Structures are given as C-alpha cells and as structure tokens.
Amino acid sequence: MVNAQIKKNMNNSFVFPSRFLGLNMACKEQIALEQRFTTNKFEPQPDGKLRWKVKSSGQNYELTIEQIVGFYLSRLRTFYETAGVVSKDVVISIPSYASNVERQALLDASEIAGFKCLRIINESTAICLNYGFFRKGDLDENQARTVAFVDFGHSKTTVTIASFVKAKCKILCHHSDRNLGGRDFDF
C-alpha cells in the first residue's frame, strides 16, 4: 500500500531522506549523485541549506530534511505506542561514514519527533553488538571468534570485521562506500 501511495504522489513522497541529512549546497557532488535517485524538488536557501517544497492536504510546505526525517521518526513513535511500547528515549544508528554535521542533523530530527536521543551509534557497531548479544552462549571466554559482516544495502556497502569473546566485542576493521549499493547497480 505504501508503494502505491508513493507512485500516486511521487513529487510529495520522500524515499530514503536520510541520504540528504547534513547536506548543503557546498556538497554539490553528493547532491548531484542523490538527485539521480529522487523525484523531490528542493531549493537552496540563502544560508546554503536545502528546503523541499511539498503539497499535503491542499497546503504548500517548505521543509528541511531534519523536519522530514523527524516526521518519519514520529510515525515510528506512533507505531510503537499503538503496540504498547511507550518511551521518549531512543538510541539511533547512523552509517559510520556520517560526518558530525550529519549526526547533528539526525539529533535535530529526533528532537523534532519528540524523542530524547540518548546516543547515536554507528550501524556497524549496532550490528556487532546485536550479534554478540544473541550469540553470547556460543562464544568462548578466552578463544576469540572473528566474524565479517557485509551490509550491502540500497545505497551503500559496509564491511566490518569484529572479534568476539563471551563478554567483549572488538571491531578490527571497518570500511564503507557511501555510494555503492543496489540502486547504483540498477542505475
């Protein structure tokens, strides 16, 4: 149903808005790459930031990417509250290549959504912590297990190699390519 809604209203639908977090007009090369994959129109502001013009319920809006991501996060909050999970505290993951500006934009978006972001962690760290938590019964206390995690996603590829013992995780190596994913192969 969501895809049908997007197809009906492409110019006012946002797909993967996090790709624009922290970008401004000084990021011309990255913006040019992202424009190949989006139908949304944006305009630069005098301060160099980007604003998207959208129409919703007959009204025109100009939104920053932080507001758009904040809306997505508030929809997630609504989803979880409906399921009986109520909390204003969150930990959010972000790709490891994200700059401080991108991380701050995500913090701003979580504030717009009404969340208190306790921490922003790298996605690869979250994956390793998840593995260590759910595999702790399989891990030895002294003999380290080395595991490679490959995250080949829609718009990026990340490889992380980590070492695990029963109560500890150590990331040995990590590399990301922000612009190599499934969409790039399709393009």
CA 164 – CA 133 distance, rounded (Å):
10
Q: What is the pLDDT of residue 6?
A: 67
Tell me yes or no: is domain 2-122 CATH 3.30.420.40: yes
End-to-end, the C-alpha distance of the chain in Å comes to 25
How much is the pTM? 0.84
Q: What is the pLDDT of residue 115?
A: 93
Q: What is the pLDDT of residue 3?
A: 67
Residues of the chain with CATH 3.30.420.40: 2-122, 123-182
Contacts of 90 (CB under 8 A, 6+ apart): 110, 115, 116, 117, 118
What dotted CATH number matches 123-182? 3.30.420.40
CA 157 – CA 101 distance, rounded (Å):
21
DSSP tag of 176: E
Six token digits for residue 44: 């630069």
CA-closest candidate to residue 160, choices 186, 134, 121: 121
Q: What is the pLDDT of residue 5?
A: 67
Q: What is the pLDDT of residue 130?
A: 94
CA-closest candidate to residue 31, choices 43, 14, 47: 43
User: Which contacts of 158-162 are long-range, i.e. CB under 8 A and separated by 24 or more positions?
Assistant: 158/95, 158/96, 158/123, 158/124, 160/124, 160/127, 160/128, 162/128, 162/131
Full pLDDT tens readout for the chain, 187 residues = 456 766 777 767 777 888 888 888 888 898 888 888 887 778 888 888 888 888 878 888 889 999 999 999 999 999 999 999 888 999 999 998 899 999 999 999 999 999 999 999 999 999 999 999 999 889 999 999 999 999 998 899 999 999 999 989 999 999 999 999 998 888 8
- In order of 32, 37, 55, 125, 168, the CA distances from 12 in angstroms are 20, 14, 6, 34, 46
Contact between 12 and 56 under an 8 Å Cβ cutoff? The reply is yes
